């Protein structure tokens, strides 16, 4: 429950670091976090793990969290769900039988949430995650299309991150690939 409202399928709830929160039963989620080896537990729902009440309260931010901005369309297939200092989270919906190139100068995490295809050398389907470390990877989409959650360090979305290479052959040079200026801004 978040502010007295039960989450629904496909909800995105941004919980800034230091916010006391709980994840209820029967919820499947993708939790994007900064690298940290710290978790302070106030309550553990009947499990026998150590609690850290004093540390949790000391590290918490007691102010109400900032207002979450609504999703923002970058292109027909890219929607920014969260853009914050620690990370950007996008939903990417790719058309069936298309080919894309993901090119990033920083680490990125991809989670397939619908459909199947190939990312780099790995065949992927719903629930599978791929980590990319400042590199590029081809993305080949299967016959039913594919939806992906993509997270990378923030604070701003990277317009040139994903290029549509559907009409290009595998031997095409980078000079023939679409440029970032070809990304279409879609009003929301």
110/180: higher pLDDT: 110
Mean pLDDT (whole number) for 120-143: 94
Find which of 8-12, 47-51, 149-153 is predicted with most confidence, using mean pLDDT. Answer: 149-153
53/114: higher pLDDT: 114
Q: Which residue has the tokens 């800034």?
A: 16
Nearest one of 103, 95, 168 to 137, comparing CA atoms: 103
Dihedral sign, Cα of residue 128, residue 174, residue 91, residue 131: positive
pLDDT of 2: 55
137/47: higher pLDDT: 137
Q: Which residue has the tokens 């970058």?
A: 74
**Looking at 24-28, 57-61, 166-170, which range is the least confident one?**
166-170
pLDDT of 13: 83
Q: What is the pLDDT of residues 97-130, one digit of tens each?
A: 999 999 999 999 999 999 999 999 999 999 999 9
pLDDT of 24: 76
pLDDT band for position 148 (cuts 50, 70, 90): very high
Nearest one of 17, 44, 45, 15 to 30, comparing CA atoms: 15
CA distance 44 to 25: 12
pLDDT band for position 169 (cuts 50, 70, 90): low
DSSP 134-165: S-EEEEEEEEEEEEEEEEES-SS--TTSEEE-
Does residue 63 contact residue 125 with C-beta atoms inside 8 Å?
no
- On average, the pLDDT of the chain sits at 83
Instruction: Specify the DSSP element, H or E, that contains 107.
Output: strand 107-119
């Amino acid at each position: 429950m978040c502010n007295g409202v039960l989450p629904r399928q496909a909800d995105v709830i941004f919980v800034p670091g230091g916010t006391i929160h709980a994840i209820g039963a029967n919820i499947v989620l993708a939790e994007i976090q900064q690298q940290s080896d710290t978790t302070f537990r106030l309550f553990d729902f009947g499990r026998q793990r150590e609690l850290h009440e004093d540390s949790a309260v000391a590290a918490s931010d007691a102010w109400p969290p900032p207002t979450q901005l609504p999703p923002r369309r970058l292109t027909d297939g890219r929607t920014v769900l969260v853009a914050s200092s620690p990370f950007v989270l996008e939903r990417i919906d790719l058309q069936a039988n298309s080919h894309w190139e993901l090119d990033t100068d920083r680490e990125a995490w991809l989670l397939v949430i619908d459909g199947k295809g190939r990312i780099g050398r790995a065949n992927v389907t719903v629930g599978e995650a791929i980590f990319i470390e400042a590199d590029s990877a081809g993305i080949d989409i299967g016959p039913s299309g594919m939806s992906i959650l993509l997270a990378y360090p923030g604070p701003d979305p990277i317009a040139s991150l994903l290029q549509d290479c559907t009409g290009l052959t595998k031997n095409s040079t980078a000079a023939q690939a679409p440029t970032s200026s070809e990304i279409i801004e879609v009003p929301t």
